[in-house]
Amino acid sequence: MMHLMSPLVSARELAAELAGPRPPLLLDVRYRMGGPPGRETYDEGHIPGAVYVDLEAELAGPPGPAGRHPLPPPGAFGEAMRRAGVSAGRGVVVYDGWQGWASARAWWMLRRTGHPDVRVLDGGVDAWEGPLSTDTPAPPPGDFRPEPRVRGLLTADEAAVLARRGVLLDARAGERYRGETEPIDKVAGHIPGALNAPTTQNVTPDGTFRPPADLAARFAALGAVPGAEVGVYCGSGVSAAHEVLALAVAGVEASLYVGSWSEWSGDPSRPVATGPDAG
């Protein structure tokens, strides 16, 4: 079944679907930058039936010149998803437990490589009201084979052009965008022409997404409206996937620069802007 209205599912809706005749496959993508390891959190308790997926091992390739979380090879990604039980004919719901970034990355990768039915649990595991399980399921292998070409993917050069021609959003915190601090990457600042739109402003205090109309108004103020050419980047292509998801909730299609600032700032030939303005 295609879910055209929203890429999100509420905890109550998910509970009803899991009890129905065609339950979706659950993927637990819990990840927290700097630890603790998501697998340990999963083992302590997860939504019953959920299969753990490791963001750094299965949703990203090794860090290097292409950034901290580059895309994995299509073959390796497909193998990991089939091992988790992902099939093209069965809906998938992904969730995590920290800001929704990792689940958005899984959603983006599956959707942009051809899976027709992927949604994110709004609010993550914290929104789940049912019991948790410590059983580790062993799903039968799936049949999902990702398309070799990832749709909606920006290179560094394409991001640079988009910043001038369309709307390029920087999803990092304001102080990193302005270049006041840079705790991770080599250089502080932002891609010239990019506009700051922190991911943290996509959600309410309880971690669920803001209503679609609120998100649409937020992004429209930045020029990101339906039909516009919109791209997003962050530090390493994870929190920016959350912004792409928020834009989708608002009815705006956007591309993702996966290499993001970790790739851009690693190349000394690329220009850097600082301060509150796009530059």
Mean per-residue pLDDT over the chain, rounded? 94
Q: What is the pTM of this model?
A: 0.95
5: nearest Cα among 248, 200, 240, 191: 248
- Which residue ranges form the domains of the chain, and what is each CATH number? 8-127 (3.40.250.10), 153-266 (3.40.250.10)
Question: Which of the 8 DSSP states describes residue 94?
Answer: E
Which tens digit of pLDDT belongs to each residue from 149-187? 999 999 999 999 999 999 999 999 999 999 999 998 989
- Phi first, then psi, for residue 9 (nearest 5°) are -135, 135
Q: How far apart are CA 38 and CA 52, in angstroms?
A: 9
Which one of the listed residues 197, 234, 252, 256 is annotated catalytic? 234
Q: How far is CA 17 from the centre of its chain?
A: 23
Q: How far apart are CA 38 and CA 28, in angstroms?
A: 9
Which stretches does DSSP call E strand in the chain? 8-9, 25-28, 51-52, 92-95, 118-121, 167-170, 195-196, 230-233, 255-256
CA 181, 185, 187, 193 torsion-angle sign? negative
Based on the residue annotation, tell me whether 250 is a catalytic residue of this protein. Answer: no
Identity of the amino acid at 238? V
Q: Residue 35 — pLDDT band, cuts 50, 70, 90?
A: low
Q: Residue 32 — pLDDT band, cuts 50, 70, 90?
A: confident
Q: Residue 31 — pLDDT band, cuts 50, 70, 90?
A: confident
Which tens digit of pLDDT belongs to each residue from 1-13? 333 468 999 999 9
Q: What per-residue confidence (pLDDT) applies to 36? A: 67
Which tens digit of pLDDT belongs to each residue from 120-155? 999 999 999 999 999 999 999 999 999 989 999 999
CA 161, 163, 165, 167 torsion-angle sign? positive
Task: Lay out the sheet containing 92-95: strands in order across.
Answer: 8-9, 118-121, 92-95, 25-28, 51-52
Which tens digit of pLDDT belongs to each residue from 192-224? 999 999 999 999 999 999 999 999 999 999 999
